[in-house]
Chains A and B, each alone.
Chain A
Amino acid sequence: MTFYEVTFYVLAVVALLSAILVITCRNPVHSAIFLVLTLLSVALIFLQLQAEFMAAVQIIVYIGGIMVLFLFVIMLVNLDVAVRQAPYNRQRWIAGFAALVLLAEFTLFIYQGRDWAKLPPAAAEAVQPNTELIGRALFQNYILPFEVASLLLLVAMVGAVLMAKQR
């Protein structure tokens, strides 16, 4: 096994394990920490795939921004009380059944589509600094989505203010 494969499997296992811990932890802040760990391992997988910029965005925006917001919300609504009530306990069997069905479905799809999803062999050497490629692709080929993104951000901003002000 090459170093490349070892790192991939380690990261994948960490990502999956911590993802499982996110939903099994009773303490919401522990869940949040494990979600951070999941996102971090995904970021490192991006890094391994030479998508340096994506990895940085994953860390800066998701972990440094969105997860901080999650933590704020957990603290804001005092989830300690909510945890003791364990609201979804009775649906455990139904949930397990649904998850199994979903798993079977996914396995089937992936199995059927295994040829279709084959990727071309990767270039031997990294083409060039990856960030520049993203930049050029984004600002030359995908200008409309880019500008729409600013609209989306604007809407989100206004929405956040409206929601907070109604209280």
Chain B
Amino acid sequence: MSEWISRHPELLVAGLKAGVLIFVLLTAVAYMVWFERKLIAHIQSRWGPYRVGPHGLLQPLADGLKFLFKEDIILTNVTSRFVYLFAPFLSLALALLAVAVIPFGPEEFELLGTRTGLYVADINVGLLFVLAVTSLGVYGVVLAGWSSNSKYPLLGGLRSAAQMISYELALTFAVVGVLLLAGTLSLREIVDGQSGTWAGFLPRWHVFPQFVAFVCFFVAGVAETNRTPFDLPEAESELVAGFHTEYSSLKFAMFFMAEYAHIITTSLLVTILFFGGWLSPFPDTAAWNFTRFLPSVLTAVLALLFFRDAFRLTNQYHRVLTFLICMGLAGLAFLLLHPTALVLAQGPFWLLAKTGMFLFVFVWTRATLPRFRYDQLMAFGWKLLVPLAVLNVFVTSFVVAWRAD
């Protein structure tokens, strides 16, 4: 066994990278919940989570533990236990899967004697893969709603399914606009195609020529993840909690983890398709070379903020923890100055910075916008987004074809 592994180090490397990505993704999901609660609280002039750890930073852990010790209820009248248990499993597994093809940076590095890049899998139809996995997402919802054999979940599941497939169309049509410019289905090449600048300062990102597609894609992406203002599947005022009404304990949490993983995937995808992925927004000239130190500098600033907090907080444990976090961040800031790390961190830094921006927008819309009515939701998807995206394809293709001739 060990001999076989030593003959195939790339398998071990792939496994390691997959494990790291899943771990990071699940942590990100947990902290996305924290981020959302905190941000919405601040938008509404509240403090949000503050007690568990400094600034509530240990709140996700507490939530997870609480879920763990809750009773695992399976209703007596579920239509099929198999489907009932399969639905949350499928939701989470698929939500995690979509990230597997996302490239996080252009750089290659050496791991266990194998040259490898900042991705789990680099396939030349990455975009199709993401679309395919997204199109399967509807099953978790439908099956959960159906198997619960209860009225609210069934209605929620149906609504959600109809909504997801409707907005998936707008999503796909919007992607075609990008494909016309990129001419490839590989996510890596799509990002590479956006390098360079227009007029010396404006990055050649797809948002600028494809602004309509970007709007369609982002709106459809918000709807695909069942987020406000499109969160009708779980409209608590009419459907209690929608398709996951009858789920308890960690099974309930799995649907939420899936939802937040989808948010992260959508944000990553928007960044890659429209905002140049890992490319820096600054021109690649000597004058702008100092921006390469941004990852390190920003980490250092964050460390300083925590340092200040370590003296301001009143709770002793929080002080100690804050100080430890500060030390960790300071160490990271120094590590990022190392020449290899400096180069390697550029891609992920910009990709994640832009993704973070979209995560912010996701939460922002939730804090700001009221929910659609169902007929408005369907009308918005079919009568506005789909025609708009098709029109965009039409116009873009005309320009592309005209230029090609």
User: A: which residues have CB within 8 A of B?
Assistant: 27, 29-30, 33, 36, 52-53, 55-56, 59-60, 63-65, 68, 71-72, 75, 80, 129, 131
Known contacts A60-B135, A64-B165, A131-B128; can you find 9 more A-B pairs with CB under 8 A?
A27-B79, A52-B125, A55-B132, A56-B129, A63-B135, A64-B138, A75-B146, A129-B184, A131-B185
Whole-angstrom CA separation of A64 from B125 in the bound complex: 18
Whole-angstrom CA separation of A65 from B134 in the bound complex: 12
Task: Decide if A56 touches B80 in the complex (CB within 8 Å).
Answer: no
CB closest chain-B residue, reference A36: B139
Residues of B near A55 (CB, < 8 A) are 132
User: B: which residues have CB within 8 A of A?
Assistant: 79-80, 82-83, 86, 123-125, 128-129, 131-132, 135-136, 138-139, 142-143, 146-147, 154, 158, 161, 165, 168, 184-185
Query: Which of A27, A56, A63 is close to B128, meaning CB atoms less than 8 Å apart?
Result: A56
Query: Which of B128, B139, B158, B165 is close to A75, meaning CB atoms less than 8 Å apart?
Result: B158
Residues of B near A68 (CB, < 8 A) are 138-139, 142, 161, 165
Whole-angstrom CA separation of A131 from B136 in the bound complex: 21
Given contacts A68-B161, A71-B142, A129-B184, contact A56 B125 (CB under 8 A): yes
Whole-angstrom CA separation of A152 from B82 in the bound complex: 39
Query: Which of A36, A56, A64 is close to B168, meaning CB atoms less than 8 Å apart?
Result: A64
CB closest chain-A residue, reference B145: A75
Closest beta carbon of chain B to A73's beta carbon, Å: 12
Task: Decide if B125 touches A59 in the complex (CB within 8 Å).
Answer: no
Whole-angstrom CA separation of A59 from B139 in the bound complex: 13
Given contacts A53-B128, A75-B158, contact A29 B135 (CB under 8 A): no
CB closest chain-A residue, reference B90: A33
Task: Decide if A129 touches B161 in the complex (CB within 8 Å).
Answer: no
Whole-angstrom CA separation of A64 from B146 in the bound complex: 17
Whole-angstrom CA separation of A59 from B135 in the bound complex: 8
Whole-angstrom CA separation of A68 from B166 in the bound complex: 12
Residues of B near A60 (CB, < 8 A) are 128, 131-132, 135
Would you list 13 pairs from A and B whose C-beta atoms are within 8 A, ordered by A residue? A29-B79, A52-B125, A53-B125, A56-B129, A60-B131, A63-B135, A64-B132, A64-B168, A68-B138, A71-B142, A75-B158, A129-B185, A131-B125
Residues of A near B82 (CB, < 8 A) are 30
